[in-house]
A = this chain, B = another copy of it.
Amino acid sequence: MTTPTGDQALIKRINTAIVLEYILRGAPLSRAQISEQSGLNKATVSSLVQDLIDGSLVRETGTGQSSGGRKPVMLEFIATSGYAVGIDLGVNYIRGVLADLRGNIIAERTSSLRHPDPGAAAEQLCECIDSLMAEAPASPYGIVGIGVGVPGLVDDLGSILFAPNLKWRDVPLQQILTERFSLPVTIDNEANMGALGEQKYGAGRSISNLIYVSVGIGIGTGLILHKSLYKGASGFSGEMGHLSVEAHGRSCACGNRGCWELYASEQALLEQSAELGFEDLESLLVAAGEGRQDVLELFSGIGEYLGIGIANIVNVFNPDAVIIGNRMSQARPWLEGVLRQTVTQRALGFHLRKVQLLFAELGERSSMMGAAEMAIAGFFSRVKAT
């Protein structure tokens, strides 16, 4: 094994990354400002900026305001020098996006999954990707990568080991897509993608430690710790849907008892609402909007159990923020009150001081945008390495 050693190329990579980071965050700004803010020498900044300009990642946008001397030449990142594809593969839908390198949405596709069989789904997925790629304007780097979020366990090679709601086992999706498109492909769990999406483009912008709770049919979680996705020993963690909140509660298909998602997921809601004659979340939302008391009580129950689990999360991770996403986030108006109250009651005071309780800003787009972000991040780490 060879540890990555330090040499001059490493320094250049590090400093290029710093310069690019400043331009990404603070544009428009001048070379002088970058030098002053980063501590890098003016000459160094000039040279690195020139490399970035040569690499079509940055351009000069003309002169800015003088502050008593020569006018600065302002710089900005060229978001349109490449595009990324982000896909959210759901249990019964495929949602896809074409985004530029800043995450601006260029095109979007939504379709329902015609057939849950892995082969057919992969085919439909490829069609979706093809049609999105066709929308990309000509650009220096073209399509820089494809990211896909899936509702299941994914190993580090991008194979779907197990997706219970799709009834898939061992589908080597990354391999299939890489062969088909000859592009870098990243596959990950839907909750991890959602966490990334919200951290980059949504409610959790630039928060270091956040937990994204994806409340859909089941409950999944994406953990961003120290600014990076935490994945456990085998590459999959965050199965917090199967955190037991009632040690001797109902048996779960996973083998455990009293799992959180038995009490706080969309599935749990629908089971309880069946006897009231509701079959899907949408009709329940409408009924709640009309003020139906029995429906409101259902949501309140879900809110309480969500709070119980989130209090646990807060106690365990002491995160900066917890973000509630996926389908259940639409029920925010009827959940939020009970939820906050429960968390406040149950979480430790010291932890509560800092934690923010948020709802996903990107709504149903969290996971898809996270997938696009994965592809973009992969591109950046590659260009910085050259």
Chain A residues with a Cβ under 8 A of chain B: 1-3, 5-8, 10-15, 18, 21, 37-40, 153, 161-162, 208-209, 221, 225-226, 230-234, 236-240, 242-249, 254-258, 263, 305, 308, 311-312, 315-320, 345-351, 353-355
Contacts and interface: CB of A to CB of B under 8 A. Distances in A.
A8 B305 CA distance: 54
Contacts of A347: 255-256
Q: How many copies does the complex hold?
A: 2
Nearest to A38: B3
A45 to B, nearest CB: 10
A318 B255 contact: no
Given A233-B320, A256-B311, 14 more contacts: A2-B38, A3-B38, A5-B40, A6-B13, A208-B233, A226-B230, A232-B351, A233-B354, A233-B355, A237-B316, A238-B316, A247-B263, A255-B347, A256-B346
Q: Please indicate which of the listed interface residues A13, A38, A226, A346 has the most CB atoms of chain B within 10 Å of its own CB.
A: A346
Q: Count chain B CB atoms within 10 A of each CB in A14, A21, A40, A232 and give the residue with the most.
A: A232
Contact of A239 (B10, B236, B348): B348
B351 A318 contact: no
Contacts of A10: 6, 11, 14
Contacts of A351: 232, 234, 236, 239
Contact of A233 (B15, B37, B209): B209
Contact of A11 (B8, B18, B38, B246): B8
A14 to B, nearest CB: 4
Interface centre among A1, A38, A226, A242 (most CB of B within 10 A): A242
A238 B317 CA distance: 6
A341 to B, nearest CB: 12
A31 to B, nearest CB: 15
A157 to B, nearest CB: 15
Given A234-B354, A346-B255, A2 B39 contact: yes
A274 B236 CA distance: 43
Contacts of A249: 247
Contact of A237 (B208, B256, B257, B317): B317
A40 B7 CA distance: 9
A384 B361 CA distance: 43
A232 B254 contact: no
Given A237-B316, A239-B348, A244-B308, A6 B11 contact: yes
A160 to B, nearest CB: 12
Most buried by B among A153, A225, A234: A234
A22 to B, nearest CB: 8
A44 to B, nearest CB: 8
Contacts of A12: 6
Contacts of A239: 315-316, 318, 348, 351
Nearest to A232: B318
A317 B232 contact: yes
